[in-house]
Amino acid sequence: MAFSVRDVIDILIVASFVYALLTLIKGTRATQMITGLFIVLFFAFLANVLNLTALKWIVSGLKDIWIVVFVILFQPEIRRALASLGKPHFLYLMREEMEMVAREVARACLMLSDKRVGALIVITRTVGLRTYMETGIRMDAKVDANLLVSIFSPYSPLHDGAVIIQGENIVAAKCILPVSDSSELPPTLGLRHRAAVGLTEETDAVVVVVSEETGAISIAMDGKLIKGEEIGDLEGYLSSILSGR
């Protein structure tokens, strides 16, 4: 049987879609859900082949609601995928802004780390974070390392929750973020780190976390948590992420 050009294009498109889907769900709770879906499909196939009446009836009933269930279960992953489709690089921070934000955030995190003061700093990229800004106190101040340190000071009324940066400005503090329930995360991971990962499961934001217990600095993005030893130069790492390199 000969393959036509159309067949090759068809296969490439399907393969690209499957690869993109697997990349999207890798390391997220969707991995277990996809496994469960394949198990259900296997039993559906088995029911048809062996003509198992009761099992066919159950699978037939599930067939009518599977789309709704799929959307509900995969809501965070679908939202993140749609937000990242055709992500326009010109909407990223301008280069000068990006370098300034990376520098000031890195300086603040290093100072907070030395003092063993916890922090949660969100840097907005292309997906708006208005919903999360409204959970905190609105601000309008240029990003500055000393200001960030003072916000997260234990004596500051704004120290609980996250700071959100948009462009070159701090736009909100004391914000509440969604907490990840991913089984891929270590059970010992604290609420601050889970909140950082939770936001990046739903948006393309970059979140920098400073541990109050150890002073360790981590970065959350794309639903993953990157530890300090993998980061190296914090300012350079942030600059690279924010510029899309």
Task: Point out which residues pair with 206 in neighbouring strands.
Answer: 123
Pair 157, 64 in one domain: no
Enclosing H/E stretch for 169: strand 169-175
112 in the same domain as 22? no
pLDDT tens, position by position, 185-226: 888 888 999 999 999 988 889 999 999 999 999 999 988 898
Which tens digits make up the pLDDT trace of 109-168? 999 999 999 999 999 988 888 889 999 999 999 999 999 999 999 999 998 999 999 988
Domain co-membership, 102 together with 65: no
Residues 94 and 183 in one domain: yes
CATH code, 139: 3.40.1700.10
Domain that holds residue 61: 5-73
**165 in any annotated domain:** yes
Same-domain check for residues 62 and 20 = yes
Domains of the chain: total = 2
Same domain, yes or no, for 125 and 9? no
Distances in whole angstroms, Cα of residue 8 to Cα of each of 3, 4, 11, 220:
7, 7, 5, 38
